[in-house]
A and B are shown apart, each in its own frame.
Chain A
Amino acid sequence: DAGVIQSPRHEVTEMGQEVTLRCKPISGHNSLFWYRQTMMRGLELLIYFNNNVPIDDSGMPEDRFSAKMPNASFSTLKIQPSEPRDSAVYFCASSSGTRNEKLFFGSGTQLSVL
């Protein structure tokens, strides 16, 4: 298996633009997590899904952020409009089986909003 695949690896955009981050979880995994990492705030859980259904989105910073999981093999995290403070590394992770199983992380998307 290729592991969790995130795209793009790097994204540079201007303030006010829409940004879409993509994630393909490991086949057969039924839970998917989105995290954001910055030096100041560390690794924050934004939202997670189970069987394509959002379970907890309390970590989503504001209405500018939205996440979808239309099927078991694809998820998106969208920021509209983007702001410089959104600059961070965004990680997607997936897990399988029962609750609390180990997470497999993607390589992350480095987002820079100018």
Chain B
Amino acid sequence: SQQGEEDPQALSIQEGENATMNCSYKTSINNLQWYRQNSGRGLVHLILIRSNEREKHSGRLRVTLDTSKKSSSLLITASRAADTASYFCVPGIINTGTASKLTFGTGTRLQVTL
């Protein structure tokens, strides 16, 4: 399978706490992206980490990548109710074609309560 597998499937935390989501994949990659989808809306790109990077930050987001373990994690610090959404990881699969197939898993459903 070329898609990432997110874990856990669902996560419920209180506002202010940190949320950690994990992603595993099976093939060699060029990069890995994380996306967010609020209920009933389109997906929004959060962050892209390249295969030669180990960690990347963007605001309250911290992403790690371990290519030896074929895994990534997304940490959201000081969560807010507005972070309630589904989160998806998308491995950018190495291939010899002109464009890469970007497929989505089932995601992690994050619920942040007040």
Binding site for B on A (CB under 8 A): 31, 33, 35, 42-43, 45, 48-51, 55-56, 91, 93, 99-108
Task: Flag if A104 contacts B104 (CB, 8 Å).
Answer: no
Q: When the two chains form their complex, are residues A107 and B41 in contact, meaning their CB atoms are under 8 A apart? A: yes
How far apart are B42's CB and chain A's nearest CB, in angstroms?
A: 4
**Given A99-B30, A99-B98, A100-B100, are A42 and B105 neighbors across the interface (CB < 8 Å)?**
yes
A28 → chain B, closest Cβ, in Å?
15
Q: A48 and B101 in contact (CB under 8 A), knowing A99-B30, A99-B92, A102-B33? A: yes
Check if A103 sits within 8 Å of B43, measured CB to CB.
yes
Provide a sorted-by-A list of 14 A–B residue pairs whose CB atoms are within 8 angstroms.
Answer: A42-B104, A42-B105, A43-B43, A45-B103, A55-B99, A55-B101, A56-B101, A100-B30, A103-B33, A103-B43, A103-B45, A107-B41, A108-B41, A108-B42
Q: How far is the CB of A21 from chain B (nearest CB, A)?
A: 14
